[in-house]
Amino acid sequence: MRLRGSSKNVRRSPSGINQAATHPLTRRKLPAIFISVLLALANSAAQKQQTTWSDYGGGSDNSHFVDLRKITKANVTKLKIAWTYETHDGLPYVFNPIIVDGLMYVLARDNSLVAIDASSGAEKWIHAALNGISRRGITYWQSPDRKDRRLIFTLHQQLQEIDAATGKSIVTFGASGYVDLRAGIARDPGNIHSIQSGTPGKVFENLIILGSSTGEGYMAPPGDLRAYDVRSGKLVWQFRTVPRPGDFGYDTWPKDAWQYIGGDNAWGEFSIDAKRGIVYFGLAAPKYEMYGADRAGDNLFSDCVLALDARTGKYLWHFQEVHHDIWDYDPTSAPQLISVQHEGKKVDAVAQAGKTGFLYVLDRMTGKPLWPIEERPVAKSDMPGEQSSPTQPFPTKPPPFARQKFSAQDVDPYLLTPEERARVQQQIAGARDVGMFTPPGTTDSIQMPGNRGGSNWGMTASDPQRGVVYVSSIDAPSILHLYTEEPASLGFGLVRTAGPPGGQVYQQNCQGCHGTNQEGGAGPSLVDVTKRLTAPAIRSIILNGRGEMPALSSLNDGQISSLISYLADPKNGGAATFDFSKLMPAARPNAGGDQGPVVAEGGAPAGKLDSGMKIPWSGPYGMMGGPPYPKGVHAPAVRYYTAWNVMYKYIDPPWSTLTSYDLNRGTIKWQIPIGEDPSALKHGAKATGSLEEQRGIIVTSTGLVFLAAGDGKVRAYDDATGKTLWSAQLPAGSRGIPAMYECNGRQYLVVSATWPIGSDDSSPDAKDKPETKTGYVAFSLP
């Protein structure tokens, strides 16, 4: 057994960056009155800054922590709806609002960016038709004199900016208003069909730092980390996450792997220590992620916490959570930057929650684990050519936040019929299961937590100075099975199936995630989806993506029409088609309410005319297939594939939990289920938690933890005990991150409530449902 910290996993820069800077004021004693003045000024500045929510996740550190004092444990029960803003389109959004100078920026009106009054919800302006915009949020930047204020986002695989005051595109940015994010990557730009991330970048000084979403298949582009000048769009630095010859980490891959290996990307969240100028990334698995015969070795910098100099992109240190990932165990939650008391001294640490269910706690300056992380032997893969890692890292402390075992005894007794439960138990009993690192093979194998289990984007928060970290997580087992055939349901044009056109479109594009009978899997159930969403809403989701679902922009009008018909009537195969005019949204932006002026449409004019943006997101090889290997490289002759096969309903509750960690001690303070599943409650279940990921944690300096869940409720918990102190019914479920801010002396909590709660029997009772349509809901004290 080897303790983690060897050269295999932790590497530190020799540059001296590991020595904490000492400010001259700390080297000599100062008069007490002067110190008091300094502290008062500092507190005043912090209070002033805290009145806004000007950054995705609440700040550069992504802590979701707010130092506002008006809402407390004593009065939280008095919170009421202050105002609501209807999105006027029925679309489900996962957007984190930005609030600056009394304006709130949201997505609404058929993927338009809308500025609304943060105290009333009244519209100020609309930049319409930003279809394909980064769906989780945008980034705000301002010059020191505040005369130049910009909203930064990705659209059409490009980086673009909008003037925060006027809502118009800034055409002096980049090349006539955009920067092509496909340029400068080790692939032909014309063959890069996915590179922009759904998660917004982070601003540091005059830089916008970006991760990427590279797609899931063989020959995907590598996930280089990049920083651009906010004003000009000029590339300032680029860090290659798949090393090239001469780069540190190159020897953890086969020769020339950088020519064909993709991924190692930051598609989730990352955090910045603004004081030190260090940015911390959680990097994803290599691509293809479930079979690694073409990438023998540990594969740096995949599945790493990676620390870089935010100004230069210079490597500082890394810690690898999973070697040679063949499970898609991406660490995507925001690394939490905290200060703790450890072994008698104060330590600045970074805590990264993983899909593995572990919380990895490291020294922020060196990457050294605060508690031993052991290299333990794991099972060997029996797949042809696969060289799985003989060991994997296991933290000894703190305890895991998610279940890491799944057996036939754990099968759900509430949402499955007795016949389904018996079938699932038989399947599990016949599957290979040698722990959470069971290698996938050509027979069934159990993965627990699943590749959609544990912690995902938006699911961590902290009280940084107290060393308390909160993790929202989900228990979602997967049953993996490798085949030589690329899953046709995840690709385009690979299989020509017989039958009505709607069924063909569904099989080729939807079935792998949503199941043969629309009952769900890696994606949610689509049963009765046409009763829960309007046809225009479904059309928008197909073309623009939603959550983890990519945009199916290659589908034409006729295919979309037949697909929606199939979803509405699968028994008849979707032979009939909708009148396509019914699928078209109303004139952009959708009418309704006191509409603000439409100041622009479609982003930078030059950007939307770029012919390269017409390339389908997945290309002709399907979602996982990919083109042939480059000539001259040593690569396996056979490729293997599997769908993610997430089985949300297979395991017994609780399905989702919120865990509070005290990292001064390395212990769990409390753990509670998040929300309730109405269907399971009707069958006698208790404390179920909600199915699928629950996001939206906000932590306050007054001892409250707010969380908006997918069951249609927002709750406030006592940070000391986890006890629910307040809850309110929303008009819909929530999958985005809320925001908290102060405006005109009043403190607000705003929640995106646009997500379908589930089938009809899972919806809240009509008597409990607020008298408002889906949109953004703001709460405040009377």
Smallest CA-to-CA distance from 474 within 353, 654, 333 is with 654
Task: Determine the average pLDDT of the residues in 175-181.
Answer: 95
pLDDT higher than 80, residue 353: yes
Residue 544 · residue 132 · CB < 8 Å: yes
Half-sphere exposure of 170 (CA within 13 A, CB side): 21
Beta bridge partners of 340: 347
Report the predicted TM-score, pTM, of the whole model to 2 decimal places: 0.87
Largest Cα separation within the chain, whole Å, is 84
pLDDT for res 90: 84
Lowest mean pLDDT among 136-145, 503-512, 622-631: 503-512
Task: Determine the average pLDDT of the residues in 671-695.
Answer: 91
Residue 195 · residue 181 · CB < 8 Å: yes
The amino acid present at 692, given as its one-letter code, is: E
3-state secondary structure of 125: strand
Structure tokens at 319: 């810690």
CA–CA dist 770, 777 (Å, integer): 10
Neighbours of 487 (CB within 10 A): 21
pLDDT for res 241: 98
Q: Which helix (H) or strand (E) holds 751?
A: strand 746-753
pLDDT for res 9: 59
Smallest CA-to-CA distance from 352 within 96, 62, 14 is with 62
pLDDT higher than 80, residue 615: no
Smallest CA-to-CA distance from 331 within 320, 340, 315 is with 320
pLDDT for res 388: 98
pLDDT higher than 60, residue 33: no
Smallest CA-to-CA distance from 641 within 224, 218, 167 is with 218
Residue 684 · residue 414 · CB < 8 Å: yes
Residue 744 · residue 704 · CB < 8 Å: no
Question: What are the tens digits of pLDDT across the range 211-261?
Answer: 999 988 999 999 999 999 999 999 999 999 999 999 999 999 999 999 999
3-state secondary structure of 764: coil
Beta bridge partners of 726: 716
CA–CA dist 760, 275 (Å, integer): 50
Q: Angle 501-509/557-568 helices, nearest 10 degrees? A: 90
CA 239 from centroid of its chain's CA atoms? 21
Lowest mean pLDDT among 25-29, 462-466, 586-590: 25-29
pLDDT for res 130: 93
Q: How far is CA 585 from CA 79, 87, 91, 731, in A?
A: 35, 13, 11, 22
Three-class secondary structure assignment of 194-237: CCCCCCCCEEECCEEEECCCCCCCCCCCECCEEEEECCCCCEEE
pLDDT for res 579: 53
Structure tokens at 146: 């505040």
Residue 156 · residue 132 · CB < 8 Å: yes
Residue 350 · residue 340 · CB < 8 Å: no
CA–CA dist 640, 642 (Å, integer): 7
Lowest mean pLDDT among 48-52, 179-183, 777-781: 48-52
Residue 565 confidence class, pLDDT cut points 50, 70, 90: confident
Residue 518 confidence class, pLDDT cut points 50, 70, 90: confident
Task: Determine the average pLDDT of the residues in 711-723.
Answer: 96
pLDDT for res 193: 82
Structure tokens at 578: 């909708």
Neighbours of 74 (CB within 10 A): 9
Q: Which helix (H) or strand (E) holds 3?
A: strand 2-3
Smallest CA-to-CA distance from 353 within 338, 340, 343 is with 338
Residue 260 · residue 292 · CB < 8 Å: no
**769-779 exposure pattern, b = at least 16 Cβ within 10 A, e = fewer:** ebebbbbbbbb
> Percent of the chain scored above 90 by pLDDT?
68
Residue-averaged pLDDT of the chain: 86
Instruction: Answer with the residue of higher pLDDT: 611 or 776.
Output: 776
pLDDT higher than 80, residue 32: no
In which order are the strands placed within the sheet that holds 656-662?
460-463, 468-474, 656-662, 667-673
Residue 256 · residue 44 · CB < 8 Å: no
The amino acid present at 549, given as its one-letter code, is: M
pLDDT higher than 50, residue 199: yes
pLDDT for res 44: 41
In which order are the strands placed within the sheet that holds 149-155?
139-142, 149-155, 158-163, 178-180
DSSP secondary structure letter of residue 733 = B
Instruction: Answer with the residue of higher pLDDT: 48 or 342.
Output: 342
Kindly report the length of the chain. 782
pLDDT for res 40: 42
Structure tokens at 765: 């009772």
Neighbours of 589 (CB within 10 A): 25
Question: What are the tens digits of pLDDT across the range 570-606?
Answer: 766 554 555 544 444 444 577 777 789 999 999 998 7
Structure tokens at 408: 């036939």
pLDDT for res 12: 47
Residue pointed to by tokens 């002067």: 34
Smallest CA-to-CA distance from 88 within 114, 117, 108, 118 is with 108
Residue 590 · residue 110 · CB < 8 Å: yes
> Percent of the chain scored above 70 by pLDDT?
81
Smallest CA-to-CA distance from 728 within 79, 291, 105, 224 is with 79
3-state secondary structure of 45: helix
Structure tokens at 200: 């917004």
Task: Determine the average pLDDT of the residues in 496-505.
Answer: 59
Alpha-helix residue ranges (DSSP H) falling in 550-685: 557-568, 605-608, 678-682
Question: What are the tens digits of pLDDT across the range 75-127?
Answer: 999 999 999 999 998 888 999 999 999 999 999 999 999 999 999 999 999 99
> Phi/psi at 541 (nearest 5 deg)?
-65, -40
Q: How far is CA 38 from CA 34, 43, 634, in A?
A: 6, 9, 62
pLDDT for res 611: 43
